[in-house]
């Protein structure tokens, strides 16, 4: 398996709107240094060429920490930057076409917010799924919370790793204990924190208990 369940524990997703005085690379370095286990570059509206440049820089940072990097949506940016894979949503390029372009060695993660879509993603050959939103979030507008019982059912229906996403932070993440998720994917709880490094350490520590 290209993605092991342990690497899903704290799955950080970038959002340069949160960088403040720091650069995106500085923030990524802090988050990875402090224990994030996976990284997705999700920069909506960033021009393709800029995204490729950013991905090359981030790939070098992630290499230091041995953390896999995927890019949201843009398969060609994955190919040009040489990162580890792509994350595709239900409205993005379809899996078969993405796999054809990327080959078998690259990671393809898929968004799958229902049992049916999760099973379909696994059958297609996805390496992991993201399920959510699990809580209310202002980061992504076109999503609404699914029942935690659905999340639990998703986890028991498939054997590829499952990462929960959407509105997850230090105060609510313990609610996910018992759902059998492998990890949480977070944007604002890490990149929107005053100290992303400290926020990461805390979340890693809580998550070790959540997945127990
Ligand atoms: N997909 C479902 S919810 C979401 C995405 C990309 C946003 C997650 O952001 P946050 O800030 O962790 O709620
Ligand atoms: Mg998408």
ipTM, 2 decimals? 0.96
Pocket test for ligand 1, best of 17, 187, 203 (most atoms within 8 A of CB): 187
Superfamily of domain 5-210: Aldolase class I (3.20.20.70)
Minimal-distance CA residue to ligand 1 atom 3: 166
Q: Which three-class secondary structure state does DSSP give residue 68?
A: coil
Give the residue among 132, 109, 79 at the shortest CA–CA distance from 7.
Answer: 109
How far does the centroid of ligand 2 lie from the alpha carbon of residue 88, in Å? 5
Reading phi first (left if > 0) and then psi (alpha if -120 to 50, else beta), residue 178 is in: left
Q: Is 92 annotated as a binding residue?
A: yes
Instruction: Tell me which ligand sits closest to the C-alpha of residue 142.
Output: 1
Helices and strands, counts by H and E, the chain: 8, 8
Q: What is the reported pLDDT for 144?
A: 85
- Tell me if 9 sits within 8 A of 164, measured CB to CB: no
Q: What angle do CA 135, 176, 41 make, to 5 degrees?
A: 60
The CA 98 to ligand 2 mean position distance, Å, reads 13
Instruction: Give the SS3 label for residue 208.
Output: helix
Q: Answer yes or no: is the C-beta of 187 below 6 A from any ligand 1 atom.
A: yes
Whether 167 lines ligand 1, by a CB cut-off of 6 Å, is yes
What are the backbone angles phi and psi of residue 72, rounded to the nearest 5°?
A: -75, 130
Q: Look up residue 56 and give its two tokens.
A: 């090359």
Q: Where are the domains of the chain?
A: 5-210
SS3 176: helix
pLDDT for 1 equals 63
Q: Which H or E run contains 185?
A: strand 183-186
Q: Which residues of the chain have pLDDT under 70?
A: 1
* pTM for this predicted structure: 0.97
How close are the terminal C-alpha atoms of the chain, in Å? Answer: 21
């Amino acid at each position: 398996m290209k993605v092991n369940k342990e690497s899903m524990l704290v799955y950080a997703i970038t959002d340069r709107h949160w960088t403040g005085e720091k650069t995106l690379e500085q923030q990524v370095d802090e988050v990875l240094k402090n224990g994030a286990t996976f990284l997705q570059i999700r920069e909506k509206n960033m021009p393709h060429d800029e995204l490729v440049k950013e991905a090359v820089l981030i790939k070098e940072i992630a290499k230091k920490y041995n953390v896999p990097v995927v890019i949201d949506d843009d398969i060609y940016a994955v190919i040009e930057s040489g990162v580890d894979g792509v994350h595709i949503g239900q409205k993005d390029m379809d899996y078969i076409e993405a796999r054809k372009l990327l080959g078998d060695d690259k990671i393809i993660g898929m968004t799958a917010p229902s049992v049916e879509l999760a099973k379909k993603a696994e059958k297609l050959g996805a390496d992991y799924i993201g399920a959510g939103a699990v809580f209310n979030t202002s980061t992504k507008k076109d999503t609404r919370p699914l029942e935690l019982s659905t999340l639990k059912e998703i986890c028991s229906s498939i054997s590829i790793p499952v990462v929960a996403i959407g509105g997850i932070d230090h105060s609510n993440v313990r609610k996910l204990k018992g759902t059998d998720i492998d990890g949480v994917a977070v944007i604002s709880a890490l990149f929107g924190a005053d100290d992303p490094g400290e926020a990461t350490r805390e979340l890693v520590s809580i998550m070790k208990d959540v997945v127990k």
